């Protein structure tokens, strides 16, 4: 079920902080119309860290309803408290989501054995497929290949989003897990190479802005057409970089606002709007790509 370009969807908000339902509907339509293979709702890019449980669950419900089974929906269900991650998973289990994405606990810095216990407890809580998410740049704790291999034995743990950007890490881990264990890149700059080396997909920030290009790149890579995938990726390489010049999701929200796809670039504190030089940099790239 899980293959190709999955957008790490932003959560659009009004200036008063409320979720912007009209823009959310427009974004979902934008992705379905432009070939996005799946949506990740309320992950890091969806500001999961600052949405309270009720809003988090409501946004996931809304996305599932808007998608209407046209493409798969994966819901962010991670937390640095195992009990909270289980609670979120249980509350979203009957929303119609196709999978969960659960991040390595942040701030706590758990041992590898703690990560195993954490994810096994979450996977035991529902029957919905669970994808692990390793992003040591944000969590500090790094889930090692042997740990992934141990977790891959669980019937509900189906894959990993690897945001290390380390292609050797991918190769090392793949050699330790079953053939059907899924590997998604969580690093847009290296995502094309990740897929060309055998990865199953990307969970992409860049796909918020250029869903069609990301979808075509993934399609080419999945067919083994490395040259075509790399040619598509070359055109958006600078966009990959500029979307991360400030902490995610600051820049994708600003880009979508300038493209007229969301009504406001508002973010929940402690995130704020980008600096002027960052705005200028991303707008220059958007202009070059004829997006604004």
108-122 tens-digit pLDDT: 999 999 999 999 999
**Nearest alpha carbon to residue 249 among 187, 189, 184, 205:** 205
Residue at 241 is within a domain: no
Token pair belonging to 224? 């083994």
Angle at 270 between CA 102 and CA 63, to 5 degrees: 45
pLDDT in tens, 78-110: 999 999 999 999 999 999 999 999 999 999 999
pLDDT of residue 124: 98
Cis amide prior to 270 (ω within 30 degrees): yes
Position 247 in a domain: no
- Scan for tokens 């709702």, then name that residue: 41
Q: Give per-residue pLDDT as tens, 240-261.
A: 999 999 999 999 999 999 999 9
239 part of a folded domain:
no
* 98, 1 Cβ separation under 8 angstroms: yes
pLDDT per position as a tens digit, 53-77? 999 999 999 999 999 999 999 999 9
139 pLDDT higher than 90: yes
Residue 221's domain comprises 4-225
Q: In the chain, what percentage of residues exceed pLDDT 70? A: 100
The answer to the question of residue 124 being in a domain is yes
State yes or no: is 133 an active-site residue: yes
- The answer to whether residue 127 sits within a structural domain is yes
* Positive or negative: CA dihedral 271, 275, 281, 283: positive
Alpha-carbon torsion angle 103, 107, 112, 115, nearest 10: -40
Any binding-site annotation on 262?
A: no
Does 50 score more than 90 pLDDT? yes
Contacts within 8 Å (CB) and 24+ apart, 185-191: 185/161, 186/8, 186/133, 186/134, 186/135, 186/161, 186/162, 187/162, 187/163, 188/240, 188/243, 188/244, 189/165, 189/237, 189/240, 189/241, 190/165, 191/233
Summary mean pLDDT of the chain: 97
pLDDT in tens, 143-172: 999 999 999 999 999 999 999 999 999 999
Pairing assessment for the beta strands 38-41 and 99-103 based on DSSP bridges: unpaired
The predicted model gives 125-148 an average pLDDT of 97
Q: What is the pTM of this model?
A: 0.96
In a domain, 42, yes or no: yes
In a domain, 230, yes or no: no
69 is catalytic: no
Nearest to 233 by CA among 262, 186, 191, 279: 191
CATH number at residue 217: 3.20.20.70
Domain count across the chain:
1
Please give the pLDDT value at position 1. Answer: 78
User: Among 6, 61, 133, 216, which one carries the catalytic annotation?
Assistant: 133
190 is in an annotated binding site: no
Report yes or no on 83 lying in a domain: yes
Q: Per the residue annotation, which of 6, 29, 155, 161 is the catalytic one?
A: 161
């Amino acid at each position: 079920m899980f293959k190709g370009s999955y957008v790490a969807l932003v959560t659009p908000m009004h200036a008063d902080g409320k979720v912007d339902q009209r823009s959310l509907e427009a974004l979902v339509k934008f992705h379905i119309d432009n070939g996005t293979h799946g949506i990740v709702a309320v992950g890091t890019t969806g500001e999961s860290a600052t949405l309270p449980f009720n809003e988090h669950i409501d946004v996931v419900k809304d996305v599932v309803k808007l998608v209407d089974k046209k493409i798969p929906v994966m819901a962010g269900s991670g937390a640095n408290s195992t009990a909270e991650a289980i609670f979120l998973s249980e509350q979203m289990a009957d929303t119609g989501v196709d999978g969960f994405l659960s991040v390595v606990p942040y701030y706590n810095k758990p041992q590898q054995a703690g990560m195993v216990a954490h994810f096994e407890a979450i996977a035991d809580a529902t029957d919905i497929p669970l994808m692990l998410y390793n992003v040591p740049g944000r969590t500090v704790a790094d889930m090692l290949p042997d740990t992934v291999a141990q977790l891959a034995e669980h019937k509900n743990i189906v894959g990993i989003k690897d945001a290390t950007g380390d292609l050797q890490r991918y190769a090392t881990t793949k050699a330790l897990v079953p053939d059907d264990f899924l590997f998604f890149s969580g690093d847009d700059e290296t995502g094309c190479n990740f897929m060309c080396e055998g990865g199953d997909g990307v969970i992409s920030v860049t796909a918020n802005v250029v869903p069609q290009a990301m979808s075509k790149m993934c399609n080419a890579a999945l067919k083994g057409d490395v040259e075509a995938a790399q040619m598509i990726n070359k055109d958006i390489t600078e966009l990959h970089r500029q979307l991360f010049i400030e902490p995610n999701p600051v820049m994708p929200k600003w880009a979508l606002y300038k493209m007229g796809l969301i009504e406001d670039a508002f973010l929940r504190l402690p995130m704020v709007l980008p600096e002027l030089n960052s705005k200028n940099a991303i707008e220059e790239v958007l202009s070059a790509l004829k997006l604004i």
